[in-house]
Each structure stands twice: as structure tokens, then as C-alpha cells.
Amino acid sequence: GIQVEQSPPDLILQEGANSTLRCNFSDSVNNLQWFHQNPWGQLINLFYIPSGTKQNGRLSATTVATERYSLLYISSSQTTDSGVYFCAVVRGSTLGRLYFGRGTQLTVWP
Amino acid sequence: GAGVSQSPSNKVTEKGKDVELRCDPISGHTALYWYRQRLGQGLEFLIYFQGNSAPDKSGLPSDRFSAERTGESVSTLTIQRTQQEDSAVYLCASSLVNTQYFGPGTRLTVL
């Protein structure tokens, strides 16, 4: 399979701080997604971003496919940003099983 | 529109019993996936359906696990003779082209 490594594993921030989460993957991919798993367990889609840069409000993501990494930026963090952030990839197609990283546990304090 | 729905939301069963978990994908989504998440762990792939066929079922952990999909819609995941290590949240996702959308999951507890 394909290896997906996320860093850091844990991140603790004060409200208002900025952060960068990283995802490295071991092979070329045709599909990369970022998810936020909230404290109730729901997986929320953040970005579909196999390459390039996207922004959605305070969140943005960049994937450099040729160097096999993706970055998720969170600006002006809020307590509601707390949870686990997962990066997941599909190898060889846009459809098929997602290979997940182990996630980054983010805690934002007021 | 409606998202992916799963039922039941919680299931408590005794070791050795069979359980059925249900997933209703987003209408029109041809691809459907089952994943499992043990407490404090990442997501573990179980099976992928494209329409009614399963081109990838490599993640099913044993022959106690089976899944079917009928009418390119609803899918059921069946676990026979449940064991305590089967306790987890079972998540279903569906997609049309590339983005997978997840349901809320079924929390299975095997006593």
C-alpha cells in the first residue's frame, strides 16, 4: 500500500494562533483529501486537493504532488477547530480506497 | 440534499451474535465504501463497491465479515459471530467522481 505520514501528531494552540499541518505520502496519488473529525466523531470534508492550492475561509491547503506532500493551513484558530485532522489519499485513480494518515490532534484553548 | 446515513447509530451486542449495519449513500453516488475506526485510531478500509460489484474487498479482516449492495443504493455490512475486537465505529462513505463523503457511523460494542 501507500504510506501516509502526518505531522505533528498533536498540536495545542491558543485561540487566534495560526498553524500548519503536514502530510507526506510515499507514492504518486490522483486523489488527496483533508478531513476534520469533530469531537462527536463526524468526518467533515475540508478539501479535495490532489494538486495546487485552495482556500476556504480561514483554511487553505497546498499539495505539491511532485514532491509528495500536502499542507493544511489554519489561520486565526478558534475553539471549534479542535479535533483530529486527517489526510487521505487514493493511489492510481480518483476512485478507490482512501489510505489515511494517523491524524493530527488539534486542541485550541480560549 | 441528504448526506450519507447509517443505522443503527449505536449497537450493543453479545459476543458470538451476528450484527447487520446499514448504509444509505448520497443519491446517485455509484461508489460506496466501508471503513472501521477503533478507539483512538485512524480509519481502516474494509470494502469498496462500484455499483453492485466490489472491486476491492481486501480490507475485510476475516470471513466473518461480509457486505453486499443492492440496486446501486443501500449497502449492508454483516459481522457474524462477533468478537470483542470487532468493537469500533463503522463508517460508510460514498462518492461520485472523487470526493468521499462520510456518514455519522455506527458505534458497535461487543460485550
Computed from CA positions of residues A26, A9, A7, A85, in that sequence, does the dihedral angle turn out positive or negative?
positive
Residues in B lying within 8 Å of A, measured between beta carbons: 31, 33, 35, 41-43, 45, 48, 50, 56, 58-59, 89, 91, 93, 95, 97-102, 104-105
pLDDT tens string A28-79: 998 999 999 998 899 999 999 999 999 999 999 999 999 999 999 999 999 9
Query: How far is it, in rounded angstroms, from Cα B47 to Cα B63?
Result: 13
Does residue B105 sit in helix, strand or coil?
coil
Q: Which residue of B has its CA nearest to A31?
A: B98
Q: DSSP secondary-structure letter at B84?
A: G
Residue-wise pLDDT tens digits, B24-70? 999 999 999 999 999 888 899 999 999 999 999 999 999 999 999 98
Distance, C-alpha A7 to centroid of its chain:
10
Which residues in chain A are closer than 8 Å to B104, comparing Cβ atoms? 41-42
Check CB contact under 8 Å for A98 and B50: no
Are B10 and B25 contacting, i.e. CB atoms less than 8 angstroms apart?
Answer: no
Using DSSP, state whether B75 is helix, strand or coil.
strand
